[in-house]
Amino acid sequence: MKKEKRFDDAVFSPIESDMEKINCFSLKPLKEEDVFVFSVILCDNEIDRDYERFSADCLHGLKELFKGVTGIFDHNMRAENQTARIFDTEIVTDSDRTTAAGEPYTYLKAHCYMLRSEKNKNLIAEIEAGIKREVSISCSVKRAVCSVCGKENGACSHRPGSEIEGKVCHRILCDAADAYEWSFVAVPAQKGARVTKQYTKTQRGEISLTEVLKKLDIDKDELRLSSAEALQLKSYIENLKSLADDGEHYKSALVKKALSLSALKLPKMDTAVFKEVLLKMPARDIEKIVKGFSEDEPDSVFAPQLSSDSCAKSSDNSGFRI
Ligand SMILES: [Zn+2]
């Protein structure tokens, strides 16, 4: 049976249902003999060289997004040279193989067609001969989740590739956002790997937070951010918010400490007024006040390096030597 057999073959003969799908994308109705049909593996759930892997859900999302996407045979080629198109996709699970993350090996397979034209003759021959087998894809995802702590888009300090409790830290790519293109690569990037992929956070190429922040400065009149850039900015703001929360918490503890010490040292001080003043001060200045108040409190965490105790006991002033 063709249908069952074709999944193992890179090159196969289209059956009726394939032709129906192909004709959904074609301008003029095509017959079986007009098309060359083959399949490629687009991506899988194995941890890759960048210490990233697609989640199962993400692969399912990409399965839908890659339908109808054209393949190019050189990243620099112009649109008129794009000659193959994905007409169907499927998720295949190989239960005999387990990924480094301990999941059954699962991949996204694409079925593609190209016209049996004079222009495509050489390329078809190369695919048939198995010379052109490696593809690279360009897609974007909404979230990259840390495998150790679950924080998103680099919000934690776990470094992908480092070993934590016997497991390789990596990022799990979740929520497929877009599928841009796929292409045959001339030189296999990695021996033994039939598929290489590019994970791009924007439409073209990697973006850094610095670049997003630069945009805020440059685009004075109208600011345009891609969804990936907006997400990156959101993650940055969330990270800052969390740091601000910590700072807030620390400052309020300092104010409390300063107020309790002032009540002890300066009982006549108007606490409400002093509190107002403290709240307007930066944390490092409140630290100095607390330090000043704490000078003769040896068990205070803010006790100065040279306590008055050691000075009093010392007759040779060694307590003041640095
Ligand atoms: Zn983490």
Ligand 1 centre from 51 Cα, in Å? Answer: 13
Distance 175 CA to ligand 1 centre (A): 18
CA neighbor of 131 nearest in space, from 225, 10, 244, 258: 10
The pLDDT value given to residue 64: 95
Query: Cα of 152 to ligand 1 centre, how many Å?
Result: 8
* Ligand 1 centroid, distance to 228 Cα (angstroms): 20
CA of 144 to the centre of ligand 1 (A): 11
Residue among 292, 240, 307 nearest 262 (CA): 292
Q: How far is the CA of 236 from the centre of ligand 1 (A)?
A: 15
Ligand 1 centroid distance, CA of 241 (Å)? 17
pLDDT at 311: 38
Burial class, 192, CB count within 10 angstroms (exposed 0-12 / middle 13-18 / buried 19+)? exposed
Give the start-end residues of each E strand in the chain.
35-44, 52-54, 70-72, 84-98, 104-115, 135-146, 163-164, 167-168, 171-184, 195-199
In one-letter notation, the amino acid at residue 69 is V
Q: What is the pLDDT of residue 313?
A: 39
The Å distance, Cα 148 to ligand 1 centre, comes to 5
DSSP 263: H
Which residues crowd ion ligand 1, with CB under 5 Å? 146, 148-149, 151, 156, 158
Which pLDDT does position 307 carry in this prediction? 37
Q: What's the pLDDT tens digit per position in 242-301?
A: 889 888 999 999 999 999 998 888 888 888 999 999 999 999 999 999 988 887 655 444
pLDDT of residue 190: 42
**pLDDT of the residue at 266:** 87
Report the candidate in 92, 283, 54, 277 with the shortest Cα–Cα distance to residue 170.
Answer: 54
Residues of the chain falling short of pLDDT 70: 1-9, 74-82, 131-133, 185-208, 210-211, 214-215, 217-222, 224, 296-322
Q: 155 C-alpha vs ligand 1 centroid, how far in Å?
A: 7
- Determine the residue type at 251: K
DSSP single-letter state for residue 262: H
Q: Model's pTM, two decimal places?
A: 0.57
**253 in Cβ contact with 290 (< 8 Å):** no
Each domain of the chain, given as residue ranges in start order, spans: 2-205, 247-320
Task: Classify burial at 34, counting beta carbons within 10 Å of its beta carbon; exposed 0-12, middle 13-18, buried 19 or more.
Answer: middle
Confidence at residue 77, expressed as pLDDT on a 0 to 100 scale:
47
